[in-house]
């Protein structure tokens, strides 16, 4: 038995799943699985879309690396099932995961805690056709962003340049989610910053600046082209990176996140004020993904990152031994 097998036991890498991000999750999971196997971990692929989670217990898995993205993987549901099964898992717990997947709930917490985030209006799927579009434009300005409240990977996100484009953008978001987020557009630098750890020990990794073709950082440019530039070091003015890292750490902590996460930020070109857009609590681990890229800039290899995350796996409510909880 290798040292890693003795430390970690039998590990399931949860990948695939049933969300709109299944394809990306399979890429992430294969990368993680390969890295863990290379480090001597007894790791196995496990797709919750194809197998019941109860099989984890039956097959003797004692730890899970969650490489699922989006619904039924990043939203607290799998985390809750693993809590019930008593199997430690990577990343945030039930509450932080379920808040963080909902961009509106995340904004509410951030606003309450004084974390800057763009102005927004929440629209219900069954109400958008009755919406006063001119009032919405007056409130948020143009261009504005329309996106599903709970999807990731830029799925269903539309930058609306004119009031005439609003109905089709709202219809597109409504096809993905019951809640539609309309958000003020911040023109400026687009950056992202990963965080590792928990509480006061949380550490922000180097900021990555994203330069997409024509500023269009969509699903296709995220995963399937090589045209988008990712700059690490980010090349921001002195002090800005440290200020963003401090802000991101605070935003991560107030949501109660742990393990890891990645927060997307826009920096207003005119004022240099950073605005936090959203947090990913189960970030991508593909060849294009940003957390491994940032970690590498901090001297942490992909394999070391995977092992570090596996080390941090835990339960929010470990079972009481020798009695009822």
List, for residues 264-305, the tens digit of each pLDDT value.
Answer: 999 999 999 999 999 999 999 997 899 999 999 999 999 999
Whether residue 273 sits in one domain with residue 207: yes
Span 1-14, pLDDT tens digits: 889 999 999 999 99
Asked if the structure places residue 318 within a domain, the reply is no
Span 149-185, pLDDT tens digits: 876 556 778 999 999 999 999 999 888 888 899 999 9
Whether residue 168 sits in one domain with residue 196: no
Structural domain of 68 = 3-90
- Transcribe 189-213 into DSSP letters: EEEEEEEEEEGGG-EE---EEEE-G
The catalytically annotated residue of 153, 221, 282, 289 is 153
Strands 42-46 vs 10-14: parallel, antiparallel or unpaired:
parallel
The catalytically annotated residue of 280, 282, 289, 294 is 280
264 is catalytic: yes
Q: How confident is the model at residue 323 (pLDDT cuts 50, 70, 90)?
A: very low
Asked if the structure places residue 51 within a domain, the reply is yes
Residue with tokens 């605005």, as numbered in its chain: 275
Span 81-118, pLDDT tens digits: 999 999 999 999 999 999 999 999 999 999 999 999 99
Asked if the structure places residue 315 within a domain, the reply is no
Number of domains the chain contains: 3
Whether residue 305 sits in one domain with residue 178: no
The catalytically annotated residue of 74, 151, 183, 278 is 278
Q: Using N-to-C axis directions, what is the helix angle for 94-101 and 103-112, rounded to 10°?
A: 100
Span 217-260, pLDDT tens digits: 555 555 556 788 999 999 998 799 999 999 999 999 999 999 99
The catalytically annotated residue of 262, 275, 282, 294 is 262
Asked if the structure places residue 77 within a domain, the reply is yes
223 is catalytic: yes
262 is catalytic: yes
pLDDT number for residue 224 = 58
The catalytically annotated residue of 16, 17, 19, 21 is 21
Helix, strand, coil percent values for the chain (each to nearest 5): 40, 20, 40
Whether residue 220 sits in one domain with residue 167: no
């Amino acid at each position: 038995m290798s040292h890693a097998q003795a430390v970690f036991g039998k590990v399931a890498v949860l990948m695939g799943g049933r969300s709109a991000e299944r394809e990306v999750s399979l890429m992430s999971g294969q990368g993680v699985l390969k890295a863990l196997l290379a480090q001597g971990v007894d790791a196995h692929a496990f797709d919750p879309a194809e197998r019941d989670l109860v099989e984890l217990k039956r097959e003797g898995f004692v730890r899970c690396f969650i490489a699922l993205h989006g619904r039924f993987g990043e939203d607290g549901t799998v985390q809750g099932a693993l809590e019930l099964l008593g199997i430690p898992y990577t990343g945030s717990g039930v509450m932080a995961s379920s808040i963080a997947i909902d961009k509106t709930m995340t904004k509410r917490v951030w606003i309450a805690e004084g974390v800057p985030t763009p102005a927004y209006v929440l629209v219900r799927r069954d109400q958008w056709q009755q919406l006063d579009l001119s009032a919405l434009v007056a409130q948020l300005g143009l261009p504005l962003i329309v996106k599903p409240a709970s999807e990731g990977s830029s799925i269903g996100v539309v930058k609306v340049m004119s009031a005439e484009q609003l109905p089709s953008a709202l219809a597109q978001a409504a096809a993905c989610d019951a809640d539609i987020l309309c958000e003020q557009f911040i023109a400026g630098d687009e950056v992202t910053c990963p965080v590792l750890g928990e509480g006061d020990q949380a550490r922000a990794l180097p900021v990555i600046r994203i330069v997409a073709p024509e500023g269009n950082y969509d699903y296709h440019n995220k995963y399937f082209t090589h045209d988008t530039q990712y700059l690490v070091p980010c090349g921001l003015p002195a002090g800005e990176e440290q200020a963003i890292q401090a802000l991101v750490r605070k935003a991560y902590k107030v949501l109660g996140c742990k393990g890891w996460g990645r927060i997307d930020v826009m920096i207003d070109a005119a004022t240099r004020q950073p605005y936090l857009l959203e947090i990913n609590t189960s970030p991508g681990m593909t060849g294009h993904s940003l957390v491994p890229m940032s970690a590498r800039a901090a001297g942490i290899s992909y394999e070391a990152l995977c092992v570090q995350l596996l080390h941090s796996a835990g339960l929010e409510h470990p079972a009481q031994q020798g009695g009822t909880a």
